Amino acid sequence: MSEKPMQETIGCLMVQVCKAHRNQAAMILAELGLHPGQEILLLHLWKNDGLIQSELASLMQVEAPTLTKMLHRMEKAGFLERRKDEEDARICRIYLTQAGRLLEEPITNAWNVLEKQILANLTLEEQLLFRRLLLQVRNNLT
C-alpha cells in the first residue's frame, strides 16, 4: 500500500480545522478584549479561583513562561490579580477580579455561537457521532 501525500492525511485536515477554529475564536474573543487561550485560563479560575501558577499551567497544558506572559497581560487588562498565599508567602495565587468574573456569560455565549457555526449543516446524529469520534481521537493522542 502506498502512503498518502501529506496534504491528504487526516492530520493535515485536523491542522486546517484547528487553525480555522482558532481564527474564528480569535475574532470573537477580540471583541471581549481577550486573546486565544485566555478564555481557557478564565474557565479554570471560574471553576476554582485562587489556583497557583503551576496548577494552572498543568491544567492548561502550557509551559510556565507561556502562562506567565498570559497572566501578566490579563492582570494588566484588569481580569485577574496575583496574591501571596496566606500560609506560604513563596506561593502566588491567581484570583479573578470582578471584570474577570463578568466575562463568564459573554465568553460562554461566544463559544455557543462558534459551536453552532461548527455544527451547521450536521444532523443531530452526525453531531453526536462527530463528538464521539473527536473524543476517541483525543484519547488516541493522549
**Residue type at 40?**
I
pLDDT of residue 85: 87
22-77 tens-digit pLDDT: 999 999 999 999 999 999 999 999 999 999 999 999 999 999 999 999 999 999 99
Where in the chain are the domains?
12-141
Residue with cell 493535515: 12
Sign of the torsion angle spanned by Cα atoms 113, 33, 94, 36: positive
Convert the pLDDT of each residue in 77-130 to its tens digit.
999 999 998 898 889 999 999 999 999 999 999 999 999 999 999 999 999 999
pLDDT interval class at 1 (50, 70, 90): low
Report yes or no: 64 and 114 within 8 Å, Cβ to Cβ.
no
Fold of 12-141: Arc Repressor Mutant, subunit A (1.10.10)
Partners of 52 in the β-ladder: 93
Residue with cell 496534504: 7
pTM for the model stands at: 0.84
Question: CB under 8 Å to 12, separation ≥6 — which residues?
Answer: 6
Helix, strand, coil distribution of the chain in percent, nearest 5: 65, 10, 25
Contacts 24+ apart (CB under 8 A), 97-101: 100/42, 100/45, 100/74, 101/46
